[in-house]
Amino acid sequence: MKRTSWEIILAGLFFVGIALYIVGQHSEPEKSKRTAFASDSIRINIDGEKLHVVELKKLENLENLENLKNLENLKNLKNLKNITNFLPVEIQEEIEAEINQALEELEQEGINVDINREEGIVSINKEMAASPGNWMVVSPGVFAYVKEYDASNVKLTNIKLPFGSVTIKGGQGNQIKFTIEASGQVSTKADLESRINTSSNINSGSANFEISSLRALSKDQNIHLQATLIIPETMKVSSITQAGHITSDNVTGEQVYETRGGHINLTNVTGDISAKTSGGHITVNNSEGKLHLSSLGGHIKAQNIVGSVLMKTSGGNLVAEELSGSVRAQTNGGNIELHFVDLQNSSQANTGAGTISILVPPSTNARFDLSGNKVEIDNTLNFTGTQSSGSANGKIGSGVNSISAKTSYGKVILKQSN
């Protein structure tokens, strides 16, 4: 039976209410049972991370609650353990153990108690004392780790997780800030630190952040890790997680993203970019550079791209839209869609069993080598060359660039873009 530090405080307030009730019973003449129900009572409302203790029916006794301010002192909070004396013997040991655990968590927290005698409200607020480079309690069952470095002499940032998701953001500042949140079935900070190891350092111009599992991975799947990395936008970055999603935005340096079991979502990235996932999808938007995108079993979509794109998946679909540049697309069993705004250099598309659709502007200057079960070419395109039901070889315009497309079991469609 697990409880949180807040529940211990609630227990203390409950017993304060009982005490007030008893005081009221012994300080006033004996009354009927109906009158007894009008004695002091406490109603507790929970609003986010704030507790409101309201509806004190006898406000003249509110001064008795002033003692709650002692909760700001952890030593005084330990007096709540005395409530076990009111409980049956058979559960005293268990309850006291839970209180000890809650008190251990409270060493990471601050408690502020505000008494409003006019309104009859007692408010209890948590105050978190940040400790950079160490795990701290954010709320019951939720822990955070924060580490910052000056990026003046750092060229590369590495982040590696055994599981969990990563969010990377490029900014204008000169600081590196790594934040990771852990939640799930974790009872205490000590429990968390017995299951994962956290390290951070700067070495030879690289800032390194690594979380490693101290147990078999299967035993830690009930822990969720969410990492956020903020870096100067021009910095190189490498992000690897074994089981989680990766999101990156506004990064312009060389980039490597790898995950075994999650999706990768990149926006406004520039440079030499490698993104690889074993079982998820890859999406890239509004980006520029040399992109290498690979998935073993997911779809890949790149939209509004300037540069060259390599797209490869074993069993998914490939889509490149609003592309200015070149593309090499390969899938074993999916469809391929290529929408060119400006076709440059040479492009290739290959699928084992799917349809290949190629859209080009009428001003395209390219040579085409197309083959499949059926080849269709839009009559509005000024295509010259040879064409049969299953192949086509020719050009549009000067033919300075080139596209080859081949499907073993499917159609190849060449048409004009709108």
Domain boundaries, the chain: 5-127, 130-252, 301-418
Residues 113-151 have pLDDT tens digits of 555 556 555 555 554 455 678 999 988 889 999 999 999
Cβ atoms 260, 280 nearer than 8 A: no
Rounded to whole angstroms, the Cα distance separating 53 from 41 reads 10
Cα–Cα separations (whole angstroms), residue 112 to 7, 63, 135, 176: 16, 17, 22, 32
Question: Of 130 and 399, which is predicted with more confidence?
Answer: 399
Q: Which long-range contacts (CB under 8 A, 24 or more apart) does 314-317 make?
A: 316/281, 317/354
Per-residue model confidence as pLDDT tens digits over 186-206 = 889 999 999 999 999 999 999
24: three-class secondary structure by DSSP = helix
Model confidence pLDDT, tens digit, residues 342-369: 999 999 999 999 999 999 999 999 999 9
- Indicate yes or no: pTM above 0.75: no
Structure confidence by residue, pLDDT tens digits, 156-174: 999 999 999 999 999 998 9
What mean pLDDT value characterizes the chain? 81
- pLDDT for res 106: 55
Q: Is the pLDDT of residue 75 over 80?
A: no
pLDDT for 177: 96
Give the CA radius of gyration of the chain.
32
Number of neighbouring beta carbons within 10 Å of residue 310: 17
pLDDT band at 315 (very low <50, low <70, confident <90, very high): confident
pLDDT at 138: 87
For residues 7 and 356, which has the higher predicted lDDT (pLDDT)? 356
